[in-house]
Amino acid sequence: MNKADRIKQMKVPAVDPALAKRLPPGQVLTERFPILHEGEVPEYDMKTWTLRVFGEVDREVTLSYEDILAMPQKTVTRDIHCVTRWSRFDNAFTGVGFRDFMQAIGVEPRGSYVMLHGDHDYTANLALSDLDRDDVLLAHSFEGERLTSKHGWPLRMVVPHLYFWKSVKWLRGIEFITENKPGFWEQNGFHINGDPFLEERFSGEALPIPEDEWERKEFD
Ligand SMILES: Nc1nc2c(c(=O)[nH]1)N[C@H]1C(S)=C(S)[C@@H](COP(=O)(O)O)O[C@H]1N2
Ligand SMILES: [Mo]
């Protein structure tokens, strides 16, 4: 074998079959936890912090942080996949399961879509069926510690089966809507749905996201 052939061979990564099943197409595995968001990290007075449930519902509710901590708590360990191409395996988030949350508040949604609202003015749209799953959480903790401010404390959504931009940090509102409409990134060239295994990254023409985009980001 000549040198060129050897180098070509070296460039082909040994693919662990377990990893190939878990890693969606076009993703790169990282062990660090990148921090990605638009704008400033919000600061809160937890005495005045609220989470609003509103829109197409039989009854709107406004919850305090204590209300949320009093709901049944659980830990879910899942892989997460960011559209900028990093994936991270086995992330343990703790909080209130979305289904338990809906049961606790007893609100009947009329719409089958949801617009999540996070500070500052961040939104992400989802089908209610994408939230109505056992592994979707309103999370306050990561790996047994409360979330850092940069990762979304006091409360973030965790929707592990969709690209991570849907996992709204600094969650302040859950708005039920009857017709699906694009949130912040969905209005800015990203896919309305965002399934990483279907590689639903972009809405129209491919946006150029270099493979090393996330390596320039901040990490925790
Ligand atoms: N409120 C808010 N939530 C947000 C964002 C944001 O800009 N604002 N960015 C999203 C994007 S694009 C990603 S990839 C994840 C990143 O979460 P992390 O910083 O904890 O890795 O948060 C999502 N949630
Ligand atoms: Mo992202």
Residue 59 reports pLDDT greater than 80: yes
Q: Is the pLDDT of residue 110 over 80?
A: yes
- How would you label 93-113 residue by residue, b for 16+ Cβ within 10 Å and e otherwise? bbbbbbebbbebbebebebeb
Instruction: Spell out the domain ranges in the chain.
Output: 50-202
- What number does CATH give the domain 50-202? 3.90.420.10
Residue 9: pLDDT over 70: no
pLDDT at res. 58:
98
CA dist., res. 112 & res. 123, Å (int): 17
Q: Is 86 in the pocket of ligand 1 (CB under 6 A)?
A: no
Q: How far is the CA of 32 from the centre of ligand 2 (A)?
A: 15
Distance from residue 37's CA to the centre of ligand 2 (Å): 7
Alpha helices (runs of H) in 23-137, residue ranges in sequence order? 65-69, 98-105, 128-131
Ligand 1 in reach of 37 Cβ (< 6 A): yes
Query: Mapping DSSP to helix (H, G, I), strand (E, B) and coil, where does residue 100 land?
Result: helix
pLDDT value of position 152: 98
Q: How confident is the model at residue 3 (pLDDT cuts 50, 70, 90)?
A: very low
Question: Of residues 18 and 86, which shows the higher confidence score?
Answer: 86
- Write out pLDDT tens, residues 160-185: 999 999 999 999 999 999 999 999 99
Q: Is the pLDDT of residue 215 over 80?
A: no
Query: What is the per-residue pLDDT for 14?
Result: 44
Asked if residues 35 and 164 have their Cβ atoms less than 8 Å apart, the reply is no
Helix, strand, coil % over all residues of the chain, rounded to 5: 20, 30, 45
pLDDT in tens, 77-90: 999 999 988 999 99
